[in-house]
A = this chain, B = another copy of it.
Amino acid sequence: MTLAKIALDAMGGDDAPSATVTGAIAALTGEGSLSAERVILVGREDELQAELDKAGGNPGFEIQPAQEVVEMGEDPRKAMRGKPNNSITVATQLVKEGRAAGAVSMGNTGMVVAASTLLLGRLEGIRMPSIAVTTGITGEPMVIVDMGANVDATAENLVHNGIMGSAYASGVLGHSSPRVGLLNVGEEPEKGPKRVKEAHAMLADTQLNFVGNIEGGDVFASAADVVVTDGFTGNVILKLMEQFGGFLLEEVVKSAKAASVDLPREALLPVIRGLDYAAYGGALLLGVNGTVVIGHGRSSSRAVANALKQAARAADAEINAQIISGLKGIHLD
């Protein structure tokens, strides 16, 4: 059996194509390593070849030319029209044509979402794609979904987030029966905004291992493997956690220094690693026909490697088939 390929937008991200090419090479080793034949590099051939030469030659990657590059701040709609041959669109096109099972990009997030939604289309029954992010702060990987694709989520969108996040947590992260928690302002089902109260009732009716409402603080109490929320709240809390972690560690170092305590960086490494989103690759765009991983623009080659491995795991686990079967278990208008 030939395993499906993953198309890497080799031009996306602040340090592309250097970080993307060396990341693809790094994905060939370590836990969950991929064979070179599974990776398609998408981008400007000459630039990619130059990076490969620097790294000692092409280990066997397929190269798919794409001359245009969408910049980080560019408007996705304009870029879709004005740069039809950009690396994000070309990588997504490979998935649409079945030449790849998944695409990975560290580039313009809005552009990846737009290209995936338009070219691949939504999974049957899913109204809005969502972005799932994995954090390992508590020691156990935990999925937060949605982290920004759909800021005006309805109750039904929230239920879909639960189904999609659960499929991801079991297929990719290895949770056997992922505990799905609904982010809310209190434990009681009657608390919270209208959409969240409705989602609570609907989630209780699914086949999911729904553990009920969880509060902001429970995110660090390992209360759930999948945290269901709307794209507004998810985006705010993820950016907040990212900043807060770094901020607090700086304060700790300052405070220790002021107290004349020698606190070497190495002593904080386990905490820093827990805060490291790169360890789990990128964010998964859920709800589209295909596997799409969106990495941070600042991704290192290690983050690129992990994103490629993550995309391969998600494609191999056929989580989209799981999502479709999960949707059949519920009855929503």
A: which residues have CB within 8 A of B?
137-138, 148, 151-152, 183-185, 192-194, 196, 215-221, 229, 231-233, 235-245, 247-249, 251-252, 254-256, 258-259, 261-264, 266-271, 274
Contact = CB atoms under 8 A, between A and B. Distances in A.
Contacts of A238: 216
Nearest to A235: B185
A46 to B, nearest CB: 34
Contacts of A251: 270-271, 274
Nearest to A268: B255
Contacts of A221: 243
A244 B243 contact: no
Given A185-B235, A259-B267, 18 more contacts: A137-B247, A185-B231, A196-B232, A215-B239, A216-B237, A216-B240, A217-B239, A220-B240, A220-B243, A221-B243, A233-B236, A240-B240, A254-B270, A255-B269, A256-B263, A261-B261, A261-B263, A263-B267
A137 B237 CA distance: 16
A52 B219 CA distance: 41
A247 B64 CA distance: 46
Nearest to A247: B220
A134 to B, nearest CB: 17
Please name the 10 residue pairs, one residue from A and one from B, whose CB atoms are nearest each other, closest first: A216-B239, A217-B243, A216-B240, A259-B267, A216-B236, A217-B239, A185-B235, A220-B247, A261-B267, A255-B270
Contacts of A237: 216, 236-237, 240
B232 A185 contact: yes
A129 to B, nearest CB: 16
Nearest to A272: B255
B240 A241 contact: yes
